[in-house]
């Protein structure tokens, strides 16, 4: 998954931040993007579980 980062994508991410953004803000955006990309890859590869299955596992109502 995490491999090559296109410069264009990095620039877009930075350009979307406010002018007073901190390094922590940038790191948060990177983390969120990476988590979303990993989730999409897992979904495409069929590595998902049904919500009802997770709710049952943790004793939550359906």
How do residues 3-60 score in pLDDT, each as one tens digit? 788 999 999 999 999 999 999 999 999 999 999 999 999 999 999 999 999 999 999 9
pTM attached to this predicted model:
0.72
> How many domains does the chain contain in total?
1
Examine residue 34 and state whether it is found in any structural domain, yes or no.
yes
The answer to whether 30 and 13 have CB atoms below 8 angstroms apart is yes
Tell me how far apart the alpha carbons of residues 39 and 46 are, in angstroms, rounded to a whole number. 11
Examine residue 2 and state whether it is found in any structural domain, yes or no.
no
Q: Which domain holds residue 22?
A: 7-57
Band the pLDDT of 2: cuts 50, 70, 90: low
pLDDT digits (tens, 9 = 90+) for 7-19: 999 999 999 999 9
Examine residue 1 and state whether it is found in any structural domain, yes or no.
no
Name the token pair of 32: 């969120």
């Amino acid at each position: 998954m995490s491999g090559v980062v296109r410069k264009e994508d990095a620039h877009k991410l930075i350009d979307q931040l406010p002018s007073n953004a901190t390094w922590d803000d940038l790191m948060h955006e990177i983390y969120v993007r990476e988590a979303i990309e990993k989730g999409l890859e897992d979904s495409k590869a069929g590595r998902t579980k049904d919500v009802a299955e997770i709710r049952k596992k943790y004793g939550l109502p359906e």
